[in-house]
Amino acid sequence: MADALSKIDALEPARQPDELGRLGPYRVLRKIGTGGMGRVYLAEDARLKRAVALKVMNEKFAATPNSRRRFLEEARAMAAVDQDNVVRIYEVGEHAGTPFMAMELLKGGSLEPINASDQRFSWEQIITLARQVCFGLAAAYQRGIIHRDIKPGNIWIEANTQRAKILDFGLALAEGPMGQLAGRGSVVGTPGYLSPEQARNEPLDDRSDLYSLGVVLFELCTGKLPFQAKTIPQMLVAIISHPAPKVRELNPDVPQPLAELIDRLLAKEARERPASALALEAELVQVAEAIDSESHAALQIVTEPKAVAAKPAKDAKVSGQMSSENEPKKIDPKVFWGVSALSALSLVVIGILVLPLFRDTPKPSAAAPLALPKASRPEKPITPQTLKPLVLQNLTAVRSQVGSGDFAILKFDLVNQAAAYKEDPTRIHAGAKVVAECHLYLQSADGVRRENYALPLRRGAKQLPSPGKSSALEFRFNTASVPLGDYTAVVTLETPKHQKVSELTTPLRITTNFGSGELVGFKTVRTWAGIGADTSVGEKAAKDAGDAKQLTLAGTSDQPPAKQQHLYLRFDLTRWEAPREKLEHAVLMLTLTGDAPKSPFEIRAYAAGEALSSDWQESGENALQASDVPAAGDLGKLRFLGTIEADNSGDVLKNKTDAVRLYGPELDDAIQQAGDAITIILVRSKGASKPLRFYSKESEPEKAPGLALRARP
């Protein structure tokens, strides 16, 4: 057996009785899996005495230079991704012409057998799983890697933590498990989970993986794939041409917000899906909140007992409330007739003993009809008139100008102006699951309104404000699918049947995004150039903070000065050769180190101007000290340059060069009007208690704070 394995996978002969063979420094112990690319073995790294999962490319694909090269390139790229929801790759290499990679050894199992079993998932579990997959996908997308084969078999559930981990990132590029589609060239993936653009053999972006994740969620909710066919060509035609069935058509018990999001993930065109994995994760959070709100509302409704729902078909794997207890059971005929006879005898006894008691009971008067039980009374229709006391107010965009791909945030208030009990919608419609809905539309210059950028905000009676009170609400959506231009953001209040009650508007501009991606045509000036400098300043900052390899941003602006550390960055503008008046755009860039908190944060930027001498030093006698610089209470006197809003959830910004950015007209104007140098002060305004740390000019020069500048043509 060992000889056969050695021949197939280029293993060296075994040296110990418990081995199948050797592959370089790895003791191969036993096979634990087989895939389209090769085999996976339990192995031990003889150097570190660490158990690993060793994936070895099989002989067929290893003999193909293109497959071998892509395997190694993708595996090495993924080895640089350090994120909790992606399987960790320890080493990528090639031994005797056979590529291999050593990965962390996981306990648990893939989602595939769990999905195929009778185990049910709650809606909370499905949403949590989807969010974790989104974090893993986002970490890979930051390095330009698309999975191309998201399916239950490539989603691992850890035994102890129940954490989801994505397997086999990017390996579909090398060949893919669809051997049956070899004649179609580069079409890769698994039938049933392919996106329409994969089936059409078109260029892909990360939204292709979001479609495949939508198929996984569809299957978890309904027990079926959206499309099923006997042959692969028929499957491809269905994926490309046939509309996907709605989730609630197969399982009406799926909460409406979750079903709507899955339906959007299965859109034929990528632009109609969420714009990115992080955008999808944000929408999943909103879905969870919406389901929770509707559940609380349902608890307030007193209804007659419902008939027990029948269990779905055997192949329906829906989560939650259904169990085998609801299945009809076969009854023994002898038991049936025995119970029937006993029931008949009981009726006779009841007739003899009880019926005489009711002989003299008066009949109800025809003039006084019996009142229906309260739960059976028909609900009053929800109309714009019954919702008239509900008013929208104070619609504002957190940023009226948003870079394409960034999140737009619209905040507004929902006010209940009911003056009397009989006018209060929360009383009139106390039994309704959904009383009112808020919808978001974007209206372009030609007057056309488009929706589906954000899920509706649905509110039951208990979620509505009481008379004289208001509720603060917001829409948050990714703008990647919105064409550049000027828009009117429209927020409407509607009935559940989409009858408009009122609306508010505010301007919104979607511009070119300098917040991520390559800055074409820019020249970057770093803090190590010329008279540039960078340092951390605060009461607890070290005296030699300017010589440190990290810049520390601690505390938040609402905390006492003793808990804060600010960053001071000086850029030598003489290093930019173009005339200052020709400056078109400027972008401030920083790089987070590896120990930053995995959460959102917000940083406010100021230009020091005349409040600080331009010849300040990082260290030595003229080093900046907390007593020499503008204090937290004095920042309002400085020139405000803008706010950096960033999210390091899932470590997506970790060690990513120049990923934390600030740009806008305020920064452009300040640089145009500055002298030979400009000092920028950074203060954290929101975030976790753990400090933020950035690379300084004393560490890696290309990750030091930078100022990217571009001149007009």
**Per-domain boundaries in the chain:** 2-104, 111-167+179-295, 379-511, 523-711
> CATH class for domain 523-711?
mainly beta
Burial tier of 18 (Cβ tally within 10 Å: 0-12, 13-18, 19+): exposed
Q: Using alpha carbons only, what angle is made at residue 506 by residues 503 and 512, rounded to the nearest 5 degrees?
A: 135
The burial class, CB within 10 Å (0-12 / 13-18 / 19+), for 203 is exposed
Angle between the 123-141 and 256-265 helix axes, to the nearest 10 degrees? Answer: 30
**Catalytic residue status for 149:** yes
**Domain 2-104 matches domain 111-167+179-295 at the CATH topology level:** no
Class for the domain spanning 379-511: mainly beta
CA geometry: angle at 227 spanning 251 and 322, to 5°?
20
**Which of 317-331, 363-377, 423-437, 610-624 is the most confident on average?**
423-437
Exposure string of 271-292, with b = 16+ CB inside 10 Å and e = fewer, is: eebbbbbbbbbbbbebbbebbe
Residue 369, SS3 per DSSP: coil
Helix/strand/coil for 549: coil
User: Token pair 């405000």 is at which residue?
Assistant: 640
For residue 479, the model assigns a pLDDT of 85
Which residues is 39 bridged to in the sheet?
A: 34, 56
Closest CA to 398 of 288, 472, 346: 472
Tell me how far apart the alpha carbons of residues 393 and 411 are, in angstroms, rounded to a whole number. 10
Is the separation of the CB atoms in 247 and 220 below 8 Å? no
- What is the pLDDT, as a whole number, of residue 61? 67
pLDDT at 533: 94
Cα gap 565→543, rounded to integer Å: 13
Of the residues 9, 45, 84, 149, only one is catalytic, namely 149
Q: Is the pLDDT of residue 293 over 80?
A: no
pLDDT score of 352: 40
Which helix H or strand E contains 694, and what residues bound it?
Answer: strand 692-695
Res. 393: pLDDT tops 50: yes
Q: What is the pLDDT of residues 88-130, one digit of tens each?
A: 888 888 887 788 888 888 888 888 876 666 667 889 999 999 9
Residues with Cβ within 8 Å of residue 562, at least 6 apart in sequence: 539, 540
- On the question of pLDDT at 702 being above 70, the answer is yes
Q: So what's the pLDDT on residue 308?
A: 37
Q: Which helix (H) or strand (E) holds 220?
A: helix 207-222
d(CA 282, CA 271): 17
pLDDT value at residue 6? 43
Say what the pLDDT of residue 119 is. 67
What residues does 33 pair with on adjacent strands? 40
Mean pLDDT of 446-462: 87
What is the pTM assigned to this prediction?
Answer: 0.49
Of all residues in the chain, the percent with pLDDT exceeding 70 is 81
With a cut of 60, say whether residue 465 has pLDDT above it.
yes
161 vs 632 pLDDT, higher one: 161
At position 58, the amino acid (one-letter code) is: N
> pLDDT tens digit string along 667-692?
999 999 999 999 999 999 998 889 99
CATH classification code of 111-167+179-295? 1.10.510.10
- For CA atoms 174, 176, 182, 186, give the dihedral sign: negative
> What pLDDT does residue 425 have?
95
**Class level of CATH domain 2-104:** alpha beta
- pLDDT for residue 262: 96
Give the three-state DSSP class for 160.
coil
Residue 418 has a pLDDT of: 94
- In the chain, the amino acid numbered 25 is P
Whole-angstrom Cα distance, residue 7 to residue 280? 46
**What's the pLDDT at 542?**
77
The residue assigned the tokens 């394409």 is 404
If one compares 287 and 178, the residue with the highest pLDDT of the two is 287
